[in-house]
Amino acid sequence: MTESGLTRLVECVPNVSEGRRPEVVDEIVAAFAGADPGVLVLDRSSDADHDRSVLTLAGPGPALVEAAVAGARACARLIDLNHHRGVHPRMGALDVLPFVPFGAVTRLRGGDDPDLDCAGLAERAGRRIAAEVGVPVYLYGAVARHPGWTALPEVRGRGFEALRAALAARAADQDPPDPPGPDFGGPGLHPTAGATAAGAREVLIAYNVELADADLALARKIASAVRERDGGLPAVRAMGVPLEHRGVVQVSMNLLDWRATPPAAAYAAVAALAEEHGARVEASEIVGLAPAGALDGVDPADLCLRDFSSDMLLESRLLQALTTSEETR
C-alpha cells in the first residue's frame, strides 16, 4: 500500500457477543474479512467469561462499511442473545461498531471526503445494517443524535432484556417516556440479535486488572473508586466482574483517553486500592490492541501484563498486516 493509501486508513473495532464457540467466532471474522479485499484483520480477542470477542479491523472507509454489513449479517444468523450469559453488558449480537480515526487525514467528524469521516461512516453502516440485516441501530459517540448518547453505557442501558422490555412498554404508551427508539430500524429490537450501537470515537484501550484474594464486592468497590463518573481517574470507565473460568475477579476498564490516564496509572490505582484491602493483583491484560505511545517507557512486567509482546501494539500489527497483504497480491 502506498504512503498516501496508508494515511487514508480507518480503524473499526466490532464487539461481538460470542466468546465461547471458536467456530462461530471464526465464521464471523471470515464474514468481516471477506466483505472487501481492502479489509485488514489486525486482531481478534475472545473471552469466555465475558462471552465476547473484540475484533480490530483497518481499511478504507467504504471497505469497512461493507465489512460491517457482512459481519452484522453473520452475527444475526449465528448468535441468539436469549441464550447469551456473559458478564459483560450487551444489547446486540453485533453489540458495538465504532469507527476510529487512524490515518493522518481521517477525522472523527467532518472534512471534505466522506470516506475519511468516521461519524459519516458509522451512519452509513448503521443505516445499511438496519435496512439490509433487519437489526435496529443506535448511534453513539460523535455521531449521536439523542442528547446523552455520546456515552455508550447510556445507549446500552441495562442491556438486551431490559431494553427490549422498555421499548415494548414505550410502544404501548400514547405519550412514551425514554428510552427513545433506535435511530435506524425498529421500533423494537430484533428478537435474537437485539440492536447494534454504531458510533465514532477516538482510540481507547480496553484494559483489565485481575485480583486474587478478593471478592466481587471489592472489585466493584475498586471499579467505583477509579472510574471518572464517581470521581476517580479522568477518562476511565470501570466495572467489577467475576471470572469463573480463572477463579478471580476483575476490574474491567475502558481508558477513553490514554494520554489522560495511561495503563500504568490505571494499574497503579487499582493495585494500591487492592493492597489497602488485603488483596493483590494477579495479572493485567490489554484486550485488542494499544497504541505504542500508551506503553512508552513502561516495563510490561511492572503491570503484570499477561503474554505481552510487541504484537499487542497497534502500529506493529498494522505493519504486519500490510506486509502480508502486499506479499499475497
DSSP letters for 112-151: S-GGGBHHHHHHHHHHHIIIII---EEEEETT--STTTTS
Axis crossing angle, helix 61-78 with helix 22-34, rounded to the nearest 10: 150
List C-alpha distances in Å: 253 to 116, 121, 126, 152: 29, 26, 26, 13
Residues written for the chain = 329
The separation between the first and the last C-alpha atoms of the chain, rounded to the nearest angstrom, is: 11
The dihedral built from the CA positions of residue 67, 130, 193 and 77, taken in this order, carries a sign that is: negative
CA 258 to chain centre: 15
List C-alpha distances in Å: 193 to 16, 72, 73, 76, 85: 11, 9, 10, 5, 14
Residue identified by cell 453473520 is: 74
88 is catalytic: yes
Residue 264, phi-psi category: left (phi > 0), alpha (psi -120 to 50), beta (remainder): alpha
Task: Please tell me which residue in 50, 83, 84, 88 is annotated as part of the active site.
Answer: 88
Active-site annotation, residues: 88
